[in-house]
Amino acid sequence: MILIASLHSNIARSADYESLEIKVKAAYLYNFLRFVDWPEEHPTHANICVYGINENYRSAFSSMATLSKKSQRITINMFPEDDDITKLSACQIIFITDSATHKSKAIFEQIKDHQSLTVGESDSFISNGGMVNFVRIKDKIRFEINHDVAKAAGLKISSKVLRIAERVINSEDT
C-alpha cells in the first residue's frame, strides 16, 4: 500500500487535480476490498469493475492494473459507459463514474443477485440505491455509505469504514 501513502498529500487545485483525485479514488477502491466481506469464502481473485471510463480514469487505473495484493490477485476491468451492463455480473466492486450515473438503476437491477459493492461519485448515488459514494470535502476525498443496501446485498462493511464515512444510511441505527 505504498501507493496509497504516496497519494496522501493535499489535493491541490492544479492541472493534475482531476488526475490526482481519480488516483485517490482508485486507491480507495482497493482499500474497500479490505473492509468489505463478501459472502464467498476467500476469493483468490478480485475483480474491480469501473463503468463509464474515460481517458483520465483509464490512465489512472492502468497504472495500478497490474498491482495485486499478496493474497489476492486483483483485476481492474474497465468499461466504457455504453458497454453492455451484463458484463458486470462477476465484479466484487463496481465503480460507476459520474458520466455513467444515469445507468445506475439499470446496473443495480442487473447485479441485484450478485454480491457486488456499488461505488459511485454523484450526489444522489446512495439515495438511489448505491452503496458507497465518494464526496469531496475540503480538498479531501471522503465517502458516504448506504449500509442498508449493502446489508441487503449480503455484504458486511467493516465498522472501521463505517466510522470514517461522512454519512451512513442505516435504518437500524435510526
Partner 1 sequence: MNFSPDKHQFSIRSKLAFVIITIITITLLLAASLFTLSQLHENKLNLIDHLTTLAKITGDNAEAAILFDNSNDADKILSELKNDPHIITAAIYIHKKNLFASYMSKQNFPPVFEPPEIEGYIIESNKIHLLQNIYTDNGLDKIGEIYLQASLSPLYIQLQKNIFITGIIVLFSLLIGYFLSFRLQKTISFPILELSDATKIIKNEKDYSIRIHRNDYQEIETLCDGFNGMLQEIQQRDEHLQQLASYDPLTGLANRKYFSDMLHQAIIRGKRKSHKHAILFIDLDRFKHINDSLGHSIGDELLVQVAKRFDLIIRGDDTVARFGGDEFTVLLQEINDESSATEVAERILEIMNEPFKLNSHNVVVSPSIGIVMYPEHGKTAEQLISNADTAMYKSKHAGGNNFWFFTEHMNKAAQKRLKLEESLRKAIHRDEIILHYQPQLCLKTNEIVGVEALVRWNKNNKKLVPPNNFLPLADETGLIIPIGNIIYKKALNTLKELQKENLYQNKIAINMSAKQFRSIVSIEQMLLFIEQLKIDCNLVEIEITEEALIDYNDELISTMHTLKKQGIHLSIDDFGTGYSSLSYLKLFPFDILKIDMSFIKDMQEDEKNQDIVRAIIDMSHHLGLEVVAEGVETELQKQLLTEMGCDIIQGYYFCKPLDEKHFKQFLLQRATEQKQINKYQA
Residues near partner 1, by CB under 8 A: 1, 4-8, 24, 28, 31, 34-35, 69-71, 140-143, 158, 160-161, 163-164
AA letter at 94: I
| Cβ distance to partner 1 smaller for residue 88 or 120 | 120
| Cβ distance to partner 1 smaller for residue 102 or 167 | 167
Order of all β-strands in the sheet with 117-120 = 73-79, 45-51, 93-96, 117-120, 132-137, 140-146, 167-169
Give me the least distance between CB of 91 and partner 1, in Å please. Answer: 21
Q: Measured between alpha carbons, how far is 107 from 39 in angstroms, rounded to an integer?
A: 20
Give me the least distance between CB of 140 and partner 1, in Å please. Answer: 7
Give me the least distance between CB of 84 and partner 1, in Å please. Answer: 32
| Cβ distance to partner 1 smaller for residue 92 or 110 | 92
